[in-house]
């Protein structure tokens, strides 16, 4: 009996880092002495009670010696109960009841009866194992399918500490979890159909343009006009997740414990709709202790929908400016800096005023001009500049509500969106993030287009950022129409989607 080492991993942000678990027993102490060093948090220190009960209740017994456990490297903070299993197995190894046939990475939370509970971040831990050349990974059985997505390692799922001991002592008796041999992930998630929406042909067209180029959207209209209904159908016309996108998005959800039970990968693009009372840490990420991803990262490769936009704290909304520009959130702490992915399509909705009926021809607005300006002033100009399409969503006329005509379905719209995105993929960029250096190449205008754009810039007083965004949207309109050249009509439609902020906010 003596020193015994196992290996585990600590999740920081959405990445995992290798941790050596060193266990030593000392006959000079008593069984009550159990010390964990290496910057453990409270949940790791509490593991001693779970480990003692789990080993005793599983028939292994507990050494009548002092136990010292070192989690190295010591400068990396260790959080969560995922170290229970490697620490318990380390104690058994120090007692002489365990051998490691070959290096393995081990994670798992113990119950008092020795069963093993699921942990967060299993996909990130599997990526860490492959990155460090570790061929065997032991995880709770509930996490096995998720971890097996990563190729190049053997993943073993266990339900009880007794099974874990047998697997390490006699590995030849166990078969690893089968990998998932897929190249892409189906988008057949249960999103409602655009065919259910009556009227709003202009808004539907604008949302199709937004989906085709991955552009941000602002919808303005009175209560009940269908803004939320339209937004919730938008994810259904986006292309399916690629395998790489699914892995990225799943990592974020896994770290947050938001991955649906029994799912190895997300099947559809994320759609997140936080309440307007959300904090800046809830929306962007952060929090006490180790920073966690926020809603903008949980919506990575999907849609972040902010309904009733002016009801959000202005300070919280301003935090979105950097993620929208860079596609990532960087959180700096005194001991570390973490980066979370945040490539999202921002979809927002709001009323034109506090009562909701400013500009409505059928309902009288009860707001004074000062009240309207105060309400609209909650949305800053820099944030508006980062939203490519501004759409007016008027109340639906009665005849459209009662119409029996066939509306365009999500399937038809998705087909057009996918064709447009295939064109963009050949260029190497979605139009929404087309670099400024590429604009002249892919957004060259003829004389008519130049005149149309110049007139719009002068009349609307648009910024340089808005100028670039008009060109990107115009490029998307052209791609939807199958046109290689950017024409004046494409620019005119793109300008139409930038005029609403000037008419309302001015």
**Domain containing 495 — which CATH number?**
1.10.8
Phi and psi dihedrals of 439, rounded to 5?
-60, -45
Query: 167 and 200 share a domain?
Result: no
CB-CB neighbours of 59 under 10 Å: 9
Q: With beta carbons less than 8 A apart as the criterion, state whether 78 and 71 touch.
A: yes
CA 41 from centre of chain? 26
Q: With beta carbons less than 8 A apart as the criterion, state whether 430 and 472 touch.
A: no
Predicted local distance difference test score (pLDDT) of residue 73? 93
Query: 400 and 503 share a domain?
Result: no
Angle at the Cα of 174 (from 177 to 111), degrees rounded to 5?
80
Query: 169 and 199 share a domain?
Result: no
Task: Read off the DSSP letter of residue 245.
Answer: H
Among 142, 173, 204, give the residue marking a domain's end. Answer: 173
Give the integer Cα–Cα distance in Å for 355 and 333.
42
Query: 404 and 443 share a domain?
Result: no
Does residue 415 lie in a domain region?
A: no
Predicted local distance difference test score (pLDDT) of residue 190? 65
Query: 395 and 475 share a domain?
Result: no
Among 356, 378, 410, give the residue marking a domain's end. Answer: 410
Domain count, the chain: 3
Q: Specify burial of residue 201 (Cβ count, 10 A radius: 0-12, 13-18, 19+).
A: exposed
CA 170 from centre of chain? 39
Closest CA to 216 of 112, 320, 294: 320
Query: 150 and 201 share a domain?
Result: no
Query: 82 and 33 share a domain?
Result: yes
Give the integer Cα–Cα distance in Å for 163 and 88.
13
Query: 107 and 206 share a domain?
Result: no
Give the integer Cα–Cα distance in Å for 242 and 52.
45
Q: Specify burial of residue 14 (Cβ count, 10 A radius: 0-12, 13-18, 19+).
A: buried
Beta bridge partners of 345: 303
Predicted local distance difference test score (pLDDT) of residue 459? 82
Beta bridge partners of 391: 219
Predicted local distance difference test score (pLDDT) of residue 237? 93
Closest CA to 149 of 251, 241, 81: 251
Predicted local distance difference test score (pLDDT) of residue 262? 74
Does residue 30 lie in a domain region?
A: yes
Closest CA to 156 of 221, 172, 288: 172
Does residue 90 lie in a domain region?
A: yes
Does residue 181 lie in a domain region?
A: no
We report the CATH number of the domain holding residue 212 as 3.40.50.300
Query: 144 and 278 share a domain?
Result: no
Give the integer Cα–Cα distance in Å for 411 and 192.
11
Query: 255 and 404 share a domain?
Result: yes
Does residue 311 lie in a domain region?
A: yes
Query: 139 and 239 share a domain?
Result: no
Closest CA to 429 of 217, 218, 182, 215: 215
Q: With beta carbons less than 8 A apart as the criterion, state whether 184 and 242 touch.
A: yes
Does residue 95 lie in a domain region?
A: yes
pLDDT of the chain, 506 residues: tens digit per residue: 568 999 999 998 888 999 999 999 887 666 578 899 999 988 898 999 999 999 999 999 888 888 999 999 988 888 889 999 999 999 999 988 887 767 789 999 999 999 999 999 999 999 999 999 999 999 999 999 999 999 889 999 999 999 999 998 888 888 888 865 554 455 445 678 888 888 888 899 999 999 999 999 999 999 988 899 999 999 999 999 888 899 999 999 999 888 887 788 888 899 999 999 999 999 998 877 677 899 999 999 999 999 999 999 999 999 999 999 899 998 877 666 788 999 999 999 999 888 888 888 888 888 998 998 888 888 888 888 889 999 999 888 777 777 776 678 888 999 999 999 999 999 888 899 888 888 888 888 888 988 998 888 888 777 788 888 899 999 999 999 999 888 999 999 999 888 665 556 55
Render pLDDT for 243-276 as a digit per residue (tens, 0 to 9). 889 999 999 999 988 888 778 888 889 999 999 9
Does residue 491 lie in a domain region?
A: yes
Domain that holds residue 313: 194-410
Q: Specify burial of residue 261 (Cβ count, 10 A radius: 0-12, 13-18, 19+).
A: exposed
Give the integer Cα–Cα distance in Å for 68 and 23.
6
CB-CB neighbours of 130 under 10 Å: 15
Angle at the Cα of 95 (from 92 to 101), degrees rounded to 5?
60
Retrieve residue 435's tokens.
Answer: 């670099």
* Maximum distance among all Cα pairs of the chain, rounded to whole angstroms: 89
Query: 370 and 455 share a domain?
Result: no
Among 410, 442, 468, give the residue marking a domain's end. Answer: 410
Does residue 342 lie in a domain region?
A: yes
Predicted local distance difference test score (pLDDT) of residue 188? 47
Using the CB atoms, write b or e for 233-244: b if 16+ within 10 Å. Answer: bbbbbbbbbeee
Q: What is the CA radius of gyration of the chain?
A: 28
């Amino acid at each position: 009996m003596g020193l015994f080492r196992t290996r585990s991993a600590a999740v920081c942000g959405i990445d995992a880092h290798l941790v050596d678990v060193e266990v030593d027993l000392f006959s000079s102490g008593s069984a009550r002495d159990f010390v964990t060093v290496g910057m453990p948090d409270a949940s790791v220190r509490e593991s001693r009670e779970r480990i003692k009960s789990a080993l005793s209740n599983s028939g292994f017994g507990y050494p009548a010696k002092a136990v010292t456990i070192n989690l190295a490297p010591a400068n990396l903070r260790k959080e969560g109960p995922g170290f229970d299993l490697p620490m318990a197995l380390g104690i058994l190894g120090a007692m002489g009841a365990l051998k490691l046939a070959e290096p393995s990475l081990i994670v798992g939370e113990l119950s008092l009866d020795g069963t093993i509970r699921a942990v967060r971040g299993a996909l990130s831990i599997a990526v860490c194992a492959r990155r460090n050349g570790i061929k065997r990974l032991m995880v709770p059985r509930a996490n096995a399918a998720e971890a097996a997505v990563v190729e190049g390692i053997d993943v073993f799922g266990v339900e009880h500490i007794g099974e874990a001991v047998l697997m390490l002592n006699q590995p030849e008796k166990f078969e690893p979890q089968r990998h998932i041999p897929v190249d892409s992930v189906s988008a057949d998630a249960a999103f409602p159909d655009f065919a259910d929406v009556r009227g709003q042909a202009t808004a539907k067209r604008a949302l199709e343009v937004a989906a085709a180029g991955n552009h941000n959207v602002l919808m303005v209209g009175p209560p009940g006009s269908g803004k939320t209904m339209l937004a919730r159908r938008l994810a259904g016309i986006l292309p399916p997740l690629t395998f790489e996108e699914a892995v990225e998005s799943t990592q974020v959800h896994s770290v947050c414990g938001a991955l649906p039970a029994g799912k190895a990968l997300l099947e559809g693009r994320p759609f997140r709709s936080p309440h307007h009372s959300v904090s800046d840490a809830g929306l962007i990420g952060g929090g006490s202790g180790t920073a966690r991803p926020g809603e903008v990262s949980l919506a990575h490769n999907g849609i972040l929908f902010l309904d009733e936009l002016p009801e959000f704290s202005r300070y919280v909304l301003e935090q979105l400016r950097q993620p929208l520009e860079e596609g990532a959130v960087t959180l700096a702490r005194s001991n570390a800096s973490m980066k979370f992915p945040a490539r999202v399509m921002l979809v927002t909705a709001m009323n034109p005023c506090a009562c909701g009926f400013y500009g409505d021809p059928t309902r009288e607005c009860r707001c004074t001009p000062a009240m309207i300006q105060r309400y609209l002033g909650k949305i800053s100009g820099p944030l508006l500049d980062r939203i490519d399409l501004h759409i007016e969503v008027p109340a639906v006329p009665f005849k459209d509500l009662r119409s029996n005509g066939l509306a365009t379905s999500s399937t038809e719209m998705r087909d057009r969106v996918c064709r447009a995105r295939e064109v963009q993929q050949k260029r190497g960029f979605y139009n929404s993030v087309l670099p400024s250096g590429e604009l002249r190449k892919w957004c060259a205008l003829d004389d008519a287009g130049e005149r149309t754009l110049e007139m719009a810039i002068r009349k609307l007083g648009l910024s340089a950022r808005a100028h670039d965004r008009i060109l990107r949207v115009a490029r998307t309109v052209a791609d939807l129409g199958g046109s290689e050249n950017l024409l004046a009509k494409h620019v005119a439609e793109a300008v139409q989607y930038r005029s609403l902020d000037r008419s309302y906010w001015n």
